[in-house]
Structure 1
Amino acid sequence: MTQLSNTDHPQAMPGLQAELSEPIDTMYLTFPVGTELYGVSITVVTEIVGLQRIMSVPDVPHYIKGVINLRGKVIPLMDVRLRFGIPEKEYDDRTVVIVLQVNDAPVGLIVDGVNEVLDIPDDHIDRAHSFSNSEGRSLVKGLGRMDERVAILLDVSRLVEDEEIDIVDIPAARA
């Protein structure tokens, strides 16, 4: 298990991945949102950065906070609390942006902090078929069991899709 500090925001995940001895397809970056623990596959995580100036974008869903310019790349930001219908809270020094690469486009998730990278083998993941919406689609890929803890594992491609907008199609994301 590799521990990530909430105060030391690594600038790139490749170095972290090189430290891990287990195969990375069973590794999940975990983070709290409200009182729950969530996880995303580290195969799509490119970096974790501290919060910086967010530029507003008009005519987007309320959970799209805007974009950031990260070393010349314009990255759209989604506030995960708002996406999940959890009450908004003021950003603080623990708030971070998890930058993902989804469908060849960068996307940033604003989360309350990061916890750790966990190895969750497939046989410890309960699939989320019962969590699907009316179209049979769910943001939840599965529930990862680790001893007494459970992490809600997210399907990131579905997380960034919405009937109102597809975040990876925001023109700035391709700039």
Structure 2
Amino acid sequence: MVLNTENKDLENKYVLFKLDNEYFGLGINNVLSIEKFQDCTRVPNAPVYIVGVVNLRGEVIPVVDLRKKLNLEFKENDKDTRIIIVKSKEVVVGLVVDLSSEVLEIDNKNIDKPPATENKKMREYIKGIGKDNERLIILLDLDRLLDLD
């Protein structure tokens, strides 16, 4: 699925995905497409969270396992596993997630600051916590997640 993200009205829209049983969100302006999982070509000496690279429509894209990056438990890839292709500061990367479910608009008044935790690295990746009815959605800061700052 390729997303059209040229519209400025998309500022409060997020692509939701799941890791374990938690919902996460990325600003739709950073999401280029959502792809079915495909095998990656391993890259020697890459960080442990880099699965490898894929050839997507003629472009070689590095793929990050978000479970490893966020220190979550290992899970086998299955039919629901997706690669979310994102772009930030001219860097294009694929993010492996358990399931990508929907696009959701979250009003700024429904976004809280990240909680104070001992794990400063994890907190650095979180832009805020979105609230949608009964769900809490961890909104990720893509630049920090990809170490682009």
TM-score (norm 1): 0.78
SS of the aligned residue for 1:115 comes to strand
- Which structure has greater strand proportion? 2
Could you tell me how far 1:51 is from its partner in structure 2? 1.2
Identity %: 36
Q: Which runs of 5+ in 2 are unaligned?
A: none
Q: Contact conserved, 1:28 with 1:118, CA < 8 A, in 2?
A: yes
Query: What letter matches 1:119 in structure 2?
Result: E
Q: Which runs of 5+ in 1 are unaligned?
A: 1-9, 167-175
Runs of 4+ in 1 over 4 A off after TM superposition: 131-135
Aligned equivalents of 2:72, 2:119: Cα separation in 1 = 18
Match of 2:3 among 5, 13, 31: 13
TM-score (norm 2): 0.90
Aligned equivalents of 1:25, 1:132: Cα separation in 2 = 30
Aligned equivalents of 2:120, 2:30: Cα separation in 1 = 27
Query: What letter matches 2:57 in structure 1?
Result: R
What do residues 34-57 of structure 1 show as CA deviations (whole Å, max 9, x unaligned)? 111000000000001111120001
Aligned equivalents of 2:26, 2:101: Cα separation in 1 = 12
Could you tell me how far 1:129 is from its partner in structure 2? 6.3
Quick check: which has more Rg, 1 or 2? 1
* Structure-2 residue corresponding to 1:138: 124
Match of 2:98 among 98, 112, 117: 112
Aligned equivalents of 1:149, 1:129: Cα separation in 2 = 16
Match of 1:125 among 100, 111, 116: 111
Aligned residues: 147
SS of the aligned residue for 2:100 comes to coil
Q: Supply the RMSD in Å over aligned alpha carbons.
A: 2.1
SS of the aligned residue for 2:116 comes to helix
* Structure-2 residue corresponding to 1:57: 43
SS of the aligned residue for 1:130 comes to coil
Change (3 A) 1:59 1:130: same
